[in-house]
Amino acid sequence: MRITCPHCGPRGNDEFTVLGAADPVRPGPDAPLAGWVAYVHERENLRGSHRELWHHQAGCRAWLVVERDTWTHAVIAVRAAREAEQAP
């Protein structure tokens, strides 16, 4: 599997570590317990297109939002996480 880093170009996936799903949103400090349980533990765990946070640890060390098909391993889109956050 090759991930095209927006800063470094196509790289093997051994240069990256994976945090997991990109979509869970951290609740506010006053959110009820259920919101925190959902954020920390519960995952949609999709088969198919899945947005994930990858860290280019052995490269530019940027955080990336990688959209990837979890059934075929096809990489659909890669964006810098900062850019994805500012223009979702």
Among 5, 22, 50, 65, binds another protein (CB under 8 A): 50
Task: Please say which residue, 61 or 86, places its beta carbon nearer to another protein.
Answer: 61
Task: Please say which residue, 19 or 86, places its beta carbon nearer to another protein.
Answer: 19
Residue 33 as a binder of another protein (CB under 8 A): the answer is yes
Residues 6+ apart with CB under 8 A from 74: 68
Which of 86, 79, 27 lies closest to 53 in space, CA to CA?
79
Identify the residue whose tokens are 């799903």: 21
Residue 75 as a binder of another protein (CB under 8 A): the answer is no
Residue 70 as a binder of another protein (CB under 8 A): the answer is yes
DSSP string for 13-44 = GGG-EEEEES---PPPTT--HHHHHHHHT---
Task: Please say which residue, 6 or 57, places its beta carbon nearer to another protein.
Answer: 57
Interface with another protein (CB under 8 A), residue total 28
Residue 87 as a binder of another protein (CB under 8 A): the answer is no
Sign (positive or negative) of CA dihedral 8, 11, 63, 88: positive
